[in-house]
Amino acid sequence: SQKIEQNSEALNIQEGKTATLTCNYTNYSPAYLQWYRQDPGRGPVFLLLIRENEKEKRKERLKVTFDTTLKQSLFHITASQPADSATYLCALPSASKIIFGSGTRLSIRP
Amino acid sequence: SQTIHQWPATLVQPVGSPLSLECTVEGTSNPNLYWYRQAAGRGLQLLFYSVGIGQISSEVPQNLSASRPQDRQFILSSKKLLLSDSGFYLCAGHKTGWQETQYFGPGTRLLVL
């Protein structure tokens, strides 16, 4: 079955720097991959979707890449701000379900 | 737009008591619906999903059950809660045409004592 690994449980970044989070998956390449943001005590909120035929997707300060050869997606936040502090989850489809990675907790220090 | 409603926000229950958490969907019809549990600081564990009325798939054998009596209603239940049932329960909906996005409810924090 498909498995997702997010590179680290926690990441500490200085404000203004670029944060880079990694998501690796096993087995088959999915038709798309998603990234979500989760704040403490709240449900995850959808951020970006990238399809298998897309190499890169951007939304404001967010950039996602998708390398189906490496079976990896990178999630970048440029010019990071303390308000970007949250847990970020990657997710991909598997049959009728969407499965999630365990998340990376990002902290942006002023 | 589609919205996932969940209640209550917080629940404290004694061991051995029953549980019923309700999730309702507003703004669309025939979505796939999901129940997840999240332990503190951990990822999302898929418990059940449903592709239609009366159709339930269980991902993890455990003390819980789910039902979908109506298209926009998804219920998570237990006859007797265990301490290990404590956690943050999230209902989510997914439908083609939502740009493949899962929309989540606000969650229910359950504490079993």
What chain B holds in terms of domains, given with CATH numbers, is 3-112 (2.60.40.10)
Chain B nearest-CA distance from A56, in A, is: 17
Average pLDDT, chain B: 91
- Ranges A28-32, A87-91, A103-107, B7-11: which has the least confidence: A28-32
Q: A50 and A38 in contact (C-beta within 8 Å)?
A: no
Judged against a pLDDT cut of 80, whether residue B97 lies above it is answered with no
Displacement of CA B49 from its chain's centroid (Å): 9
Whether the predicted pLDDT of B45 surpasses 80:
yes
Domain assignments of chain A as residue spans, ordered by start: 4-109
The nearest CA of chain B is from the CA of A10 a distance in Å of 10
Alpha-helical (H) ranges within B14-105 are none
Q: How far apart are CA A43 and CA A45, in angstroms?
A: 6
User: pLDDT tens-digit profile of A51-71?
Assistant: 999 989 999 999 999 999 999
pLDDT attached to residue B61:
65
In the predicted structure, residue B98 carries a pLDDT above the cut 60? no
8 Å CB contact of B42 and A102:
yes
Q: Are B26 and B2 in contact (CB under 8 A)?
A: yes
The two structure tokens encoding residue A109: 């220090």
Superfamily of the domain at A4-109:
Immunoglobulins (2.60.40.10)
CB-based contact, B58 to chain A, within 8 Å: no
Q: What residues 79-98 of chain B have any CB closer than 8 A to a CB of chain A?
A: 88, 90, 92, 94
